[in-house]
Structure 1
Amino acid sequence: MSEAEEVVEIFTDGACRGNPGPGGYGALLRFRGVTREISGCEKMTTNNRMEMMAVIEALRTLKRPCRVRVVTDSNYVKQGMTEWLPGWIRRNWVNSLKQPVKNRDLWEELLALSRQHRIEWNWVRGHCGHPENERCDALARSAIEECLGKI
């Protein structure tokens, strides 16, 4: 993707209190200077599932095919989408250790959503002061508190 093209920027993070435990996700979408924040929670989940849900929910908000730059602090999400998926699919959703791929339901959903867009996947180190990543982390943690209040 060239820098001159209009791009929807999506920043994401997931969090979990315990793993598994109550979890939350947060995402920030930015296009043409307008920012939108989304978040959600699940009462019993894992950190990896919340990392994935952040991207899934962000992509679900897009109304038409777009050029997208996803920024995540999850190597699991980035490497899954950019490196591991072709092998998993070729081996009928079995990983390199000959075990069923974890979170297959979310991988399949993320794959279907990603096929609608031109996506550039980027990784950023978490908890290092990246403003959008820090905001997504705060959204995810706030979502956990909401979930805990509903228990």
Structure 2
Amino acid sequence: MDKAQVHIYTDGAARGNPGPGGYGIVMEWVGKPYKKEFSEGFVHTTNNRMELLAVIEALKKLKKEGLYITVFTDSKYVVDTVEKKWYVKWEKTNFKDKKNPDLWKLFLKEYRKHHVSFTWIKGHNNHPQNERCDALAVAASKEKKLKIDEGFVSN
């Protein structure tokens, strides 16, 4: 059995919340000198959407299934939903009255392809990868050409 391990660091940002936003990702293959960075910005979105989208996009970039992944994020929204298994009830009710159902459905599709655990890290606490993700997310939110967050619905 392949015990390949990947560490994924993610962060999301929104200036205004809602407002222009972006996400940042740093991916590291444990035990190998492999490191990749990704980011993307959006015209109008929320911080929580960017936090969750960062995790989804990182998982989508993995070319093999069944990997052992640790996601490091400063998002209690993402960590608690997964680690406390809130999503199980949400899924049973088709995410009724929950925010970001489009992203949670996408997340679960990718999440179930791997062995994923989450570790919460305090944001803005000099954690090198988290600081890098934050810088990537903020920079992405300030790009000239921002994408449309198709699933964003303002309440």
What is the TM-score of this pair, normalised by structure 1? Answer: 0.89
1:16-72 per-position Cα deviation (integer Å, ceiling 9, x unaligned): 110100000000000122100000011000000000111111111000111111000
The alignment's C-alpha RMSD in Å is 1.2
Higher fraction of helix: 1
Written as runs of structure 1 = structure 2, the 5 A alignment for 1:1-151 is 5-31=3-29, 32-65=32-65, 66-83=67-84, 84-94=86-96, 100-146=97-143, 149-150=144-145
Identity %: 47
Helix, strand or coil: the match of 1:11? strand
1:104-139 per-position Cα deviation (integer Å, ceiling 9, x unaligned): 000000011000000011100000111100000000
* Shift, 1:87, TM fit: 1.6
How many Å separate the matches in 1 of 2:106 and 2:94?
16
* Shift, 1:141, TM fit: 0.7
Structure 1 unaligned segments of length 5 or more: list them.
95-99
Structure 2 unaligned segments of length 5 or more: list them.
147-155
Helix, strand or coil: the match of 2:142? helix
Paired amino acid for 1:35: K
The size of the alignment, in residue pairs, is: 140
